[in-house]
Amino acid sequence: MVESIIALGGNIGDVRQTFSTAIERLDGVPDTRVVRRSSLYDTTPVGSAAGERYLNAAVCIETEFQPDRLLFVLQAIEESLGRHRTYHWAPRTLDLDLISYGERHVLERNLIVPHPAMWYRRFVLNPVYEIAPDCYHPLLNLTCRDLLFDLLRRPVEVFLNCPTDLASTIKSHIGWRFFGNSVAFSYKASDAFIIFSTDISNNPRSVLLPEQQPEQFVVQVLTGILDEPQIVGYL
């Protein structure tokens, strides 16, 4: 069996009960069992239309399913518990994300593992670290423990690989949102924690900027980095 990490999130309805039901259903899937579960974390919504504060958690499972089949199971559980996909960062009853699948790197049309954003989101890393600190990221060559410690360093070193006018817009847009010493702009990509780029890159720390509202995207990513999740309960 392969050990896999699933992240849970939600901010609509009785989220704790939804999480409990989702975990129960996941544990009832043939050839799959839940072996560890994290605490519940209260986290800041990411995105201007994300709604109320979120609860987040993570579970570690052992499964015989291949990644694509496991994704199908997770989406079926989401839909059975009222998940409706509308727009990105929309409020939701339940989000089940496949974070890792052993130490494999999976790159398919509808599935990337490890989850491409897991390394810069505290609402993912905090609960994952709690249950699987040695979970390994095969592209960054780091454990979850290493990833979280990197994420906690301040200031967050940001490198902008984009045209000068866009870089100026991004800097001015985020300058008044993140005061103090929380964010710094690096002059070298090699010194940066995260690289925002208008070009596709093989660098695992490079994040592709969208064509529409790239400055808002940077704010959303930095919000996920700088959040301070709080334990508010247990699964």
| pLDDT tens-digit map of 174-229 | 876 776 678 999 999 999 999 999 999 999 999 999 999 999 999 999 999 999 99
More confidently predicted of 90 and 45: 45
Find the catalytic residue in 83, 121, 122, 205.
83
| β strands within 64-104, DSSP E | 95-101
SS3 159: strand
Average pLDDT over all residues of the chain: 93
Task: Please state, in angstroms and rounded to a whole number, the distance separating the CA atoms of residues 186 and 199.
Answer: 18
Lowest mean per-residue pLDDT among 57-71, 81-95, 160-174, 213-227? 81-95
Q: Quick one: which of 3, 20, 25, 125 has its CA closest to 74?
A: 25
Q: Is-catalytic flag, 68?
A: no
Find the catalytic residue in 16, 25, 36, 95.
95
pLDDT of residue 175: 76
Residue range 32-53, pLDDT digits in tens: 999 999 999 999 998 766 678 9
pLDDT of residue 166: 96
What CATH architecture is 2-141+227-234? 2-Layer Sandwich (3.30)
SS3 127: helix
What dihedral do alpha carbons 217, 220, 222, 224 form, nearest 10°? -140
Q: Is-catalytic flag, 97?
A: yes
More confidently predicted of 154 and 84: 154
Q: Is-catalytic flag, 42?
A: no
User: What's the pTM value of the predicted model, to 2 decimals?
Assistant: 0.92
Domain boundaries, the chain: 2-141+227-234, 152-226
Q: Is-catalytic flag, 83?
A: yes
Determine what percent of the chain falls in helix, strand and coil, rounding each to the nearest 5. Answer: 35, 30, 40
Find the catalytic residue in 92, 121, 122, 205.
92
